[in-house]
Each structure stands twice: as structure tokens, then as C-alpha cells.
Amino acid sequence: MFSVFQIATMPVATKITRQRFEQAKLAVAAEMLGVAAETRRAYYSAVAAQEAIRYFDQVKESAEAGAELARRMFGAGNFSALQRAREQAFYADAVAQLARARQTAKAERERLTRLMGLWREDIAFKLPDRLPGLPKAPTELRDAEQTAMRTRLDVQVSRRDLGTLAESLGLTKATRFVNALDAGPAQVRETHAVLNGFELRLEIPLFDWGQARVARAEALYMQAANRTAETAINARSEVREAYAAYRTTYDLARHYRDEIVPLRKRISEENLLRYNGMLIGVFELLVDVRESVAAVNAAIEATRDFWLAEADLQAAQNGAAAGMRKAKRAAPAMAVGGPKPH
């Protein structure tokens, strides 16, 4: 049987329960977006790691050729022990680099497999041979911070948390609103008039604590209000940081694509002509091959960094960045607490 008090408070309790359900849906959506963003990052990292193996293998082949030639020239008395040791050391280092590149590619692929939840025959999926090319122009963001205040799921969750807390504390009539992003004295909006307007606003209600007469309720509410302000400030900062990284990595990747790699290719072509004309030796040609491969590998890394930054920018805009942080914090605990094979 329900008491009179339970019957009287049932509408309020039902409303609060419904609000909490909506909060839970937003929180789950944010975590799902976080997992999706982390999967995109893993995909780009796996493709780049796989692509890098080919170039590390080329370095290893040229180093092996140099070491073999140095061995023969040393045997013929045309090379010193120091020169031979240098070529052997470079070859040994190239072998180690190739082994590390293969292990990195394997680790990145397994991370992608876990994030996609694949098993059995599905783990034999095939990745593309190379990363996608750069877009013709970078995305220009306007009012990115203001958009984040409206669309980020973590900001919406925080505001709903605040509203639910107000309902549970019995605070139903707001007497005024303040901008949670205001760093100075509170700029107050009375009814529909805006004083000292802000370009970016995240308004939260304040209540007449004299009528509520509950000091604990005031402390709880203001604590939640401060958390809402922190969430909004972090959201704005994450958008700015992500966009700055996006533009920087785009410019750097384009610089490698348009300047460094073509220059290295031209140098290689000129050195090949000089070698054919017997103006340089085979070791000079091998050194040029190694430097060209290193430049191409650096270009792959720059392109990978751009696509990672693009994924981070999308995460910062929709609130998935918060979900990514939660997923990363939860991952070690899940790994430790998971089932063990019998």
C-alpha cells in the first residue's frame, strides 16, 4: 500500500526518474561516441603502421647491401675496419627498426580488432595499403565554441544533472539566471532582459535560498553548478586545442607532400644520374636511398597525425572526448578483471 506522502510525491518522483533516464541515455551516447572516436584513431594508426613496414624494409635492404659490399671491400683491402663496422652497425640498427615496426603494426591491428569487437575469422580483415590523401583544404570552423555549448553531450548531461538536482531538492521556481562561463562578477538576466551580454553563454538558474531554508541544498546545488561551469570551460578549451592541432598537422602533412618528398625524389634522380656517370660511388647512392625512405616515412607519420587530429576535432565538437577519457580510464580495469583462460 502507498502512503499519502508517497501518493502526493509520486508525480515529482516520476518526473525526476524520467529526467535521470534521459541523463543516462546522454551519458551512454557520449561513451559510445568516445569508443567510435577511439576506433577511428586506432584505424588510422594501424594503416600507417602497416604502410611504414614497407619503407623500413627498404632501409633494411639497402643497409644489407651496404654491409655486404663493405665486407667484400674489407676482404679486398679497400676498406678499413672502422668503415666496415659502421656499415654493419647501420645494418644491425635497420634490422631492429624493422622488427619494431612490425611489432607496432601488429599491436595497432590488435587494438583495432579489440575496439571493433572482432573474433574468429573476422580478425583476418584487410586494411588498405595506405592512408587516405589530405583534403584539398582544411575545414574552417566558425563559432566552434558556441556550437559546442549547444551540441556537446557532456555539456547537455551536466545541465540535465543540474536540473534533476534542483527538482530533487524541491527547487522549482528560479529567481534569476547566471552565465556559468562568466569569469568575473555574475552577470544576471532578470526575466527576458540580458545585462552585459556575452557572445558565449551557458545559463543556469539560481534560487531563493531564503525560501528554501536548507543550507545543505544550497551547498549541493552550487557544487553541481560549479561542475557544470567546469564542464563548459573544458569543452571550450578542448575545441580550441583540437582545432589548433588539426590546422598544424594539416599544414605539416601538406609541407611534406608538396615540398620535402618531391625534393627528396629530385635529389635521388640527380644522384642516380651522377652514379651512372661514375661521379659518385655506390655507398653515396645507398645513403641517398636511406634518406629518401626516411623522408617518405616521416610524410606517412605526418599524414597519420593529421587524420588523428581530425578524429580528435570531431570528438571535441560532439563531446566524444569525454567518452574517450572514460574509455581509456576503464580499459586497464577491464583488462585486469576479465575472465582468465582455464
- Digit-coded pLDDT (tens) for 156-195: 777 777 776 776 666 555 444 444 554 443 343 433 333 3
Instruction: Give the pLDDT confidence score for residue 233 in this predicted structure.
Output: 79
> 111, 202 in Cβ contact below 8 A?
no
Residue 177 pairs with which residues in a beta bridge?
189, 205
CA atoms within 13 A on the CB side of 185: 2
Cell reading at 68 = 655486404
pLDDT band at 290 (very low <50, low <70, confident <90, very high): confident
pTM of this structure:
0.70
Which position has the grid cell 570528438?
Answer: 315
Cell reading at 76 = 679486398
> Which residue, 242, 218, 248, 261, is CA-closest to 320?
242
Please report the domains of the chain, with CATH numbers, ordered by start residue: 19-139+237-332 (1.20.1600.10)
Cα–Cα distance, 261 to 166 (Å, whole number)? 60
Which position has the grid cell 617518405?
Answer: 296
SS3 110: helix
- For the ranges 83-87, 132-136, 182-186, 302-306, the lowest mean pLDDT is seen at 182-186
Q: DSSP character for 143?
A: S
Helix axes 4-75, 81-116, angle to 10 degrees: 160
- For the ranges 70-74, 95-99, 186-190, 286-290, the lowest mean pLDDT is seen at 186-190
